[in-house]
Chain A
């Protein structure tokens, strides 16, 4: 079946540092890939997505590129802010199958 593996947290960074959260997946066919974010005390919301190989999803300064050759969808941001502190979930969806989520990575950005 499908699976998503993402790096364990928590990740603690200073403001303006470079962020990478690794995500790799196992799936048949050509799934769509997503990053969701959950800010403290809030629900999950879609951060970005990519639907085919080599697509780059981007939003709010975050980027992730769909790499089929390495089955990866790493999340990056060049300069994090305190307001980026949240839990980030990588996810995939293959066709009509249910969405599969990673376990989440907590990011804490300190001033």
Chain B
């Protein structure tokens, strides 16, 4: 079946603009995660959804970052007033509640 998909694959934006990143999880996966990975770095946890609720938003770096999930399916990560330090690959993963995660290919965000 289809894996986790993310769009766009690449996004270049000017500093100060807002961006929306989309994640389509594997059908039936109730858990959804967003991570940030800076060049050559590890995974930085951002937010975790169970269904449409986010029990853990502890990783969102500032109030410029927000995420939502609807229909226990698609999720959107929004970054407002982007800064150069937001440049990174944003990874989405989904899973059944107690199983391993499946990762999408990521969205490479470049803020100029």
Contacts and interface: CB of A to CB of B under 8 A. Distances in A.
Interface residues of A, number: 20
A13 to B, nearest CB: 20
Interface in B67-105: 91, 93, 95, 97-105
B102 A96 contact: no
A93 B103 contact: no
Contacts of A100: 45
A34 B103 contact: no
Contacts of B13: none
B98 A32 contact: yes
Contacts of A102: 42
B42 A103 contact: yes
Contacts of B25: none
Interface in B33-65: 33, 41-43, 45, 48, 50, 56
A89 interface: yes
A99 B105 contact: no
A45 B3 CA distance: 11
A34 B102 CA distance: 12
Contact of A98 (B33, B41, B102): B33
A98 B45 contact: yes
B24 to A, nearest CB: 14
Nearest to A42: B105
Interface of A: 32, 34, 36, 42-46, 49, 89, 93, 95-96, 98-104
Interface of B: 31, 33, 41-43, 45, 48, 50, 56, 91, 93, 95, 97-106
Given A44-B91, A102-B42, 18 more contacts: A32-B98, A32-B99, A32-B100, A43-B103, A43-B106, A44-B103, A46-B100, A46-B102, A49-B100, A89-B43, A93-B98, A95-B98, A96-B50, A98-B31, A98-B48, A99-B33, A99-B95, A100-B45
